[in-house]
Chains A and B, each alone.
Chain A
Amino acid sequence: MYRYDEADQQIVEERARQFRGQVERRLDGRLSEEEFRPLRLQNGLYLQLHAYMLRVAIPYGLLSATQLRQLAHIARTYDRGYGHFTTRQNLQFNWPTLTDTPAILDALASVQMHAIQTSGNCVRNVTSDPFAGVAADEIVDPRPYCEFLRQWSTFHPEFAHLPRKFKIAVTGATVDRAAIAVHDIGLRIRKDEAGRIGFEYFAGGGQGRTPVLAEKLRDFLEEADLLAYTEAVLRIYNELGRRDNKYKARIKVLIKEMGSAEFRRRVEAEFETTRHDPALRLDPEALARMKAHFVPPDYATLPDGQTALQAGRLGKDRAYARWLASNLAPHRVPGYAIVQLSLKSETLPPGDVTADQMDAIADLAERHGFGRILVTHRQNLVLPDVRIDALRQVHAALEGLGFATPNVDRVTDIIACPGLDYCDLANARSIPVAQSIQQTLADADRVHDLGPLTLNISGCINACGHHHVGNIGILGIDKQGEEFYQLTLGGSARDDASVGKVLGRALTAEEIPGAVERILATYAVLRSGADEAFLAVVRRVGLGPFKEAVYADHS
């Protein structure tokens, strides 16, 4: 992974010192709350419903064991002993104080971490494929480009006060696990016939109250032009994005209102200037140096292990068999597997990990791998380099920790935002709804049989829980101070990205688990066979039968 030298280190230390000064000036009155708010947000510090919340950046979701242990230390020392992994591959602490935050930043800086630009109207933490560098279907490792984008956007002086937040996602694999269609900029790395690397360049996607799928700007942007082109996109957005209405301020609205052809024309015209700027063009030496940070670790030469995997899947240990089937992904190196830790169980809110669990995961990552951990946008963790001959051991360890629920990408692998339990913007709670669905669907065999199915819950229209792109989406709304939930069906965040459609009138929290049950039962009846996934059925038959099942005789 990328390792800081003294320059990187100086930047995060200077940041901690700067923020300490800003906190002092807020406390002695030199900064008003109105002036301080954007400053603390650009450092990931929110004032939430019950307390401050600090969002720590995990660039493209990649953590070292040392970093994870430090997060555990921070959780114990400055918080209530746990942290929350988010859909943007970051970690949130829910109970820090304002006065402790500078010390937390020092603690983060000591392990090459920070909270820079994890909120605010600026370029946010770049997200990517959680299997980057190890996925069997990877064409090009996206991490060097993510790191270039991270460095270019960190304290970019021109783009610190954009009309609204700005999110970039990058994938380098055949299957899009980074949801690039719903980001302000989405990049798919490609190779042309000559083997040269470039980017299929999308812009203007997003969720929130107006979900939009991104428009393609370029089929193939040369590798060297990544920053020059991105600078052009950002400059056009900074100058022309709407600032009169925060709900219309995202780049997706600019592109819709201007038309994608005109937007592209302006970007290309600007790019004519930026592409000749040597400070933006990535020369071969810079590219090579960056890629050297991400060379594969020392893998052992192993038999491919497929026989053992097959035997495990068919074996008598049902829990292990199901886990192999759902929580494993193919590794590019023979004899290794990518193991996903499900942070979705009945015992903790989705994405929550206690400090002791963080330490244990760090130990596992060192014992079974090269000390790396990844965060997925579905709020799970990944041990990327587990030897197939050690899978039983790892499974046993994860069962002990509560992270072996065999449900990754299944219906109980629920994405949920913090909701009204924590969030100041929320209209309704998400966590209890997730919990109640988990409890109704406790039968692991049934969950397994239902196949791949995403269920995403957001506590408000800001859509942090990605409800628009859940195969089943649940959106919390407020009706006269009471919580209600709207169901959507048919969303997808993958290559076939689509926005879910509203099923019918909003339901109470108590009605939701039953409604989900009826949707699943309807699917089980309608599917043509075990291979027809939930999304395929919704697309084939439409909402009608599901609407009927949920609302008929239940009003």
Chain B
Amino acid sequence: MAKPKVATASLAGCFGCHMSILDIDDRILKLAELVEFHKSPINDIKKFSERCLVGIIEGGCCNEENVHVLQDFRKNCDLLISLGDCATMGGLPAMRNHVPLEECLAEAYLHGPTVHNPAKQIPNDPEIPLILDKVYPLHEVVKIDLHLPGCPPPADAIWEVLVALLNNKPIDLKYGLLRYD
């Protein structure tokens, strides 16, 4: 029987949650026996060509591309895991949610204390995805099956969740694995 497939992506995140996936250390070998990684920054597969059992998403949605990637994951994965605080509640990027977009851009590219931008231009290349009015937690954009918070979630928590899912067992994290920091 073919191994179940797992896809991952980082949206408006810092890749810290992906680092935490890798932090499962030598268990990564065992994981490689259990599953096959499909579309993921880990192997640089760019497009879905097969259906996946699990999609793991780090980061919230801060721009249009994030939304499209997330919707693509929803379409191609049976289960979606919202991994880390940015995915579950917006995280650090969501601090801009209290500031109107125009002010955010002006602060970032024109008036911020460390800005050097003699041309006074806000990046506006047609290739750059447009920014959303605020950063959205993933479950406000698509249905999410499982949330695992943390900044990042501990590697042990990620391991426990994956193993439980793959073996169709209930998830029961021991104290200290569910965390928000």
A binds B: no
- Please report B residues at the A interface, Cβ cutoff 8 Å: none
